[in-house]
Structure 1
Amino acid sequence: MSETIPTVGRLPVVGSALEVGSDPFDFLEGAAAEYGPVFRVSIPGLSFVCYADAKLVERALVTERDRYRKDDRERDLLGGFLGEGALTARGERWERGRRQVQPAFTPGRIAAYAEEMVGQTERVVGEWADCEVIDVHEEATRLTLSIVASTMFGLDSLEEAGTIAERVDAITDRFAPSRLPVEIPLWAPTPANRRYRRAAGDLEEIVDRLIDRREPGDEDLCATLLSAMEAGEITESEVRDQLLTVLLAGHETTAVALTYTLASLATHPAEYDRVAREVRSAGELSARTDLPRTDAAIREALRLYPPSYLLFRQTERSDTVAGYRIPPDTRVVCPQWAIHRDPRYYDAPTAFRPGRWSKDRERPDFAYFPFGGGKRACIGRRFALLELRLAVASILRSVDLEATPDTEPSPTPALTCRPDGPVPLRVRR
């Protein structure tokens, strides 16, 4: 057993900062190819070990999960905002919160959301004019916010959608790397930190207003949590924390995934035509509608552009992986981005090829994990996948979307793998 984990870039003081700052995504792919499945990355203020291998990710998330916990850094960065929500809570509070949120995400409840998902999509698409060039990321954000508001909060309209999107931009941009990435604590009075704190406060106030506006008697997540609060099972602050988490994570990651799916299809006309033909011959859209080509396109977009591109853990106890001893309290990163593009698991790994999912090829389970995995896998996974397939189907059966010379999205590694600017598509009716 070796004690020395290979370290990427050993420059004095700055470590790997220059390489990470130049192109974080390229850095992850290159480091995995050069250093193997386990390597260390250091930048000023932060050091972690990367598990760039599907079997090692499975070990950290499933088979040896008792040796690992959620990374303390995640709670330090987001806990002040999301409190005891599903993303940041620990231990018994997480278990209790999960039990309270679960009823909103059962298969039966998710199927019941289908009509609302289709209706909200048709409303947004109905506002697009023939020959108009839309920013598909902006429109996807508006749509997913509307769907969260209607299904989780029981609201028919969301006049705060623009404000929420702006505040979420400030939250996510706080985590975008600089050219010389240095881990800056949240208490430091930087412009990004000030914007983050203002945005977090504004979103808390918006959630309070959404709670006040909801109609009594609705069977949505908000109603479920308020009933649990009235029964003394959870506190008022826990209700707000869960709803904040759903509002942020429930729309942002899905908007990003929808953006990349539509942009990838528009820039690959043959794939676009296959999906368009399928959805236009599918009949009424529901949770049961069979859309295999659509599902494959979404799956492929999530492979190439996973909204959550890094998953963080921390060792509770020591572990031995790939011949290296990983001491307790070591930060561990499981990189969806690098593993999803690893040639060991995928032919032509950087190509958009939805057809790869219809072929019989054995891959390790965690060669693909856009929603995480194990005990703390994303509780909204089925909701998000249904929302994506119904949104894509509703859009492409109503309009054609054409790529422009500027359509190719350029991902940026902020809190999510969101585009670094507008993603234009031309609407044809």
Structure 2
Amino acid sequence: MATQQMVRSTAPGPTGHPVLGMAPAFRRDMLGTMLAGFGRYGDVVAYRFGPRWGPLTQRVVMAHHPDSIHEVFTTPRLYSRRTTAFQVLTELIGTGLLTSDGEVWLRQRRTLQPLFTPRRVAGYAELMTEEAARIADTSPVADGATVDLHELMQRYALRVVSRALFGHDVDEAVPRMQRLMPVLSDLALARTLQIVRAPLAWPTPRARRISRERAAQYAIVDGIIARHAERGAGDDMLSRLHSATDPETGQPLSTEEIRDQVLVFLLAGHETTAGALTFTLQELGRQPELQARVAGGDAELARAALLEGMRLYPPAYTTERLADVDATIAGYHVPAGTRVMLSAYVTHRHPEFWPDPERFDPSRFTGQHERPRYAYFPFGGGPRSCIGEHFAMLEGTILLRALLARYRVEALDERVRLAPMVTLRPAGEVRATLRVR
């Protein structure tokens, strides 16, 4: 009887504003609000958005324990991606691998998986090394100059992904891409947190702005694809997208699907890696002795530093699923239709699995460590884990080793303000001094 009563209970959580619920708190400080909820209520926290009662009430359950995260990620018959956040992303960047669901996603994943095997990804090491050398050796950085680490890392990551995609750089598009990403992220987050979302077809100021920015991003991508077509097929990812087929059905990707995949790879692919590298370099810039060891050429330590950077600052800091049927999480009842949120940012600070969780310590990822699979999930998990994980790790490790072999990075700010948008990014410049070794 006690077990049955527990299973039927409702997860605890803050009450929030009587009309808006927790929406103002999440808009004001999402990361702080999630951490405070975890600290007060534990591994399962319920948040209300909108009025306390009525059709506009939305309830979100956040699960922080690795066991619960494992269940949500690996039980697709209970949880789908038909959530508000993914609907908004679809409005902005189309139906690519990041936003598609069900049979459409499964077909796309089967079709694209051969492009991201470890062997195929290893083929990009040379261009990654060239672009890392461009940043480390030929970029206009004078000895002792102050730079914005995030701008440098965006430049590197965007050039790497553009060369991998198109076989050449897209330098002319870099400034426009760097401007668009925070704008689109801000619009997406604001629309996701709205209690009532008007259709984009309605001529509201926000809808008009979203349509304008979406048209701008597609214009950039369409221009790049058109120039690629003029040169003809080559040994690049876009050429492979055109020739890729579903191994089970033989069906190729449509023109629209190729366009949407390119947009996802170009935007998400460079933004997440740039953020991970920026935060990792910022932390290493505050620990000169540790930085010197990474600079000494220890590939394992460089990789561990990047993994630790993504523990503290996971680019994909939250994700969500929709409970398609009644479910339970850690004994709490989750009614069908409830949004279930998972936050790598919070779970990566779970003191049960990460002692002294705010300390940057790459040794957490060297040697053998006993911790649950989903105590750490910067690339998601389950069948929908990030297809670009191997690519991102190789790209990041190559840059860290090349840059730190050339320069000592001295962080100028004790802490970096965070902007939790579609991805976790710095809220402003990340200033550092680079000194030639």
Q: Flag whether TM exceeds 0.5 (same fold).
A: yes
Distance 2:434 2:196 in 1: 42
- 1:133 is matched by which residue type in structure 2? T
| Structure 2 residue ranges without an equivalent (≥5) | 1-6, 51-55
Q: Is the 8 A contact 1:313 1:333 kept in 2?
A: yes
Check conservation: 1:407, 1:423, Cα contact below 8 A. Answer: no
- Choose which of 9, 12, 25 in structure 2 pairs with 1:3: 9
Deviation at 1:175, TM superposition (A): 3.9
Residue number among 373, 381, 401 corresponding to 2:409 in the alignment: 401
Q: Which moved more, 1:254-263 or 1:206-215?
A: 206-215
Q: Which residue of 2 aligns with 1:253?
A: 272
TM-superposition CA deviations, 1:345-368 (whole Å, max 9, x none): 111001111112235442111000
Write the distance in 1 (CA, Å) between the matches of 2:94 and 2:369.
42
Aligned-residue offset at 1:10: 4.2
Which position in structure 2 is the counterpart of 1:283?
A: none
Is residue 307–residue 416 contact of structure 1 (8 Å, CA) maintained in 2? yes
Shift of 1:183: 4.1
Cα distance change of structure 1 residues 194 and 397 upon mapping to structure 2, 3 Å threshold: farther
CA 1:409–1:70: 2 relative to 1, 3 Å = same
Q: How does 1:166-185 map to 2 (within 5 A)?
A: 166-176=179-189, 182-183=194-195, 185=197
Kindly provide the CA deviation profile for residues 235-275 of structure 1, in whole angstroms up to 9, marking residues without a partner as x.
Answer: 11111011111111111101100100111100122211111
| 1:145 CA displacement | 0.7
The equivalent residue for 1:13 is 19
Instruction: Give the partner amino acid of 1:410.
Output: R
Instruction: Describe the shift of the 1:196–1:329 C-alpha distance in structure 2 as closer, same or farther (beyond 3 A).
Output: same
CA distance in 1, matches of 2:207, 2:360: 36
Give 1:312 shift: 0.5
Q: How many residues align?
A: 413
| Amino acid in structure 2 at the alignment position of 1:14 | L
- Of the structure 1 ranges 359-368 and 238-247, higher mean CA displacement relative to structure 2 is found in 359-368
Matched, 1:50 2:62: yes
- 2:125 pairs, out of 114, 127, 132, with 114
Q: Structure 1 unaligned segments of length 5 or more: list them.
A: 280-290
Given that 1:102 and 1:379 are in contact with CA atoms closer than 8 Å, whether structure 2 keeps it comes out as: yes
C-alpha distance in 2, partners of 1:157/1:15?
Answer: 44
Q: Decide whether the 8 Å contact of 2:135 with 2:403 is kept in 1.
A: no
1:197 paired residue number: 211
Give the secondary structure class of the aligned counterpart of 2:357. Answer: coil
The two structures have a TM-score, normalised by structure 2, of 0.89
Partner Cα distance (2:204, 2:357) in 1:
39
Distance 1:162 1:322, change over 3 A: same
2:104 counterpart SS class: helix
> Which one-letter code corresponds to 2:408 in the other structure?
D
Partner AA of 2:197 in structure 1: P
Which residue identity does 1:408 align to in structure 2? R
Equivalent residue runs for 1:253-272 within 5 Å: 253-272=272-291
The 2-side partners of 1:21 and 1:169 are apart by 16
Distance 1:146 1:377 in 2: 24
Work out the CA distance in 2 between the residues paired with 1:190 and 1:139: 36
Shift in CA distance, 368/189, structure 1 to aligned 2, threshold 3 Å = farther
- Offset of 1:105 from its aligned partner? 0.7
Secondary structure of the equivalent of 2:296?
helix
Indicate if the aligned counterparts of 2:15 and 2:21 stay in contact, CA closer than 8 A.
yes
Given the alignment, which residue of 325, 344, 362 partners 1:317?
325
Percent identity between the aligned chains?
Answer: 34
The farther-off stretch of 182-191 and 90-99 is 182-191
Distance, in Å, in 2 between the alignment partners of 1:103 and 1:359 is 31
Q: Does the alignment pair 1:391 with 2:404?
A: no
Output the CA distance in 2 between the equivalents of 1:330 and 1:361: 35
Tell me if structure 1 keeps the 8 A contact 2:83–2:320.
no
| Residue 424 of structure 1: aligned partner | 431
Q: Distance in 2 between matches of 1:354 and 1:59?
A: 28
Given that 2:112 and 2:244 are in contact with CA atoms closer than 8 Å, whether structure 1 keeps it comes out as: no
Partners of 2:359 and 2:383 in 1: CA distance: 31
Matches within 5 A, 1:281-296: 291-296=299-304
Q: Name the CA distance, whole Å, in 1 between partners of 2:165 and 2:223.
A: 14
1:344 alignment counterpart: 352
TM-score (norm 1): 0.91
Picking from 73, 78, 87, the partner of 1:67 is 78
State the alpha-carbon separation in 2 of the partners of residues 190 and 410 from structure 1: 31
User: Match for residue 98 of structure 1?
Assistant: 109
Hey, what does 1:211 align to over in structure 2?
225
**Is residue 2:375 matched to residue 1:378?**
no
For 1:408 and 1:373, how far apart are their aligned partners in 2?
Answer: 29
Match of 1:287 in 2: none
Asked if structure 2 preserves the Cα contact closer than 8 Å seen for 1:101 and 1:221, the reply is no
